[in-house]
Amino acid sequence: MFKDVNCYLTRGHIYILQGPNGAGKSTFIELLTGLHMGNYTGDIRYNGVSIERLDMYSLRKTAIGISEQEPNMIADSLWYNVSLTDTIPCRLPEALEALSQAMGLSSFITTLAQGWQTPVNQEGVKLSGGEKQKLALLRTLLKDTDVMIFDEPTSALDKASTQAFRTYLTSIQQDKVILVITHDSTFIQEEDHLIELTNPCPA
């Protein structure tokens, strides 16, 4: 848990959330996304409106995208794991396809006989940690929400993939609030805004 945190997040910036293990980084994200309604002291607002007055379930579906450090894969196709729908063409928008290629994910997909339609389950493709992370990042980016949250997004990525992902975030940040939990010094840039959780509450 943490205390004495006061921050104001606005569109057009990338925020880096840091702190030692146990400082409350995951709790911070859960509070921000309305998963602990009423179980905190202070005030959390979206565009000046308290989350206590908002339908946070709906906002998590439509306005907030989260990529977890250890993403879960759904027992369905690779495409469903990225798009969460079967109703649109099995290809990424041009900008995201370029990112997929830069991260080496597209070349991996082309090695599969069923491509994006390859099932992800015990009988399907076995994904590495890096492949799961890339799919999870694309899932959040494809959702294209106003608020994007990434929890250690480069922990399983190589240097080239990390740089490609960072470049893409920079290209879209103008219209987004982007919050990243990371200790990866190669990811952080001078213009980023740092939020440090340094005052954990006693257990």
Split at pLDDT 50, 70, 90, the class of 124 is low
pLDDT tens digit string along 31-77?
A: 999 998 888 888 999 999 999 999 999 999 999 999 998 888 988 99
* Cβ pair 154, 178 in contact under 8 A: no
Query: Considering the entire predicted model, what is its pTM?
Result: 0.91
Domain ranges (residues) in the chain? 1-63+145-153+172-203, 74-143
Q: Which CATH architecture has domain 1-63+145-153+172-203?
A: 3-Layer(aba) Sandwich (3.40)
Beta strands in the chain (DSSP E): 13-18, 45-46, 49-50, 64-67, 147-151, 177-181, 193-196
pLDDT tens digit string along 102-122?
A: 999 999 999 999 999 999 876
Judged on CB neighbours under 10 Å (0-12, 13-18, 19+), 111 is exposed
**DSSP assignment, residue 14?**
E
The pLDDT of 92-110, averaged and rounded, is 95
Judged on CB neighbours under 10 Å (0-12, 13-18, 19+), 193 is middle
As separate numbers, helices (DSSP H) first and strands (DSSP E) second, the chain gives 7, 7
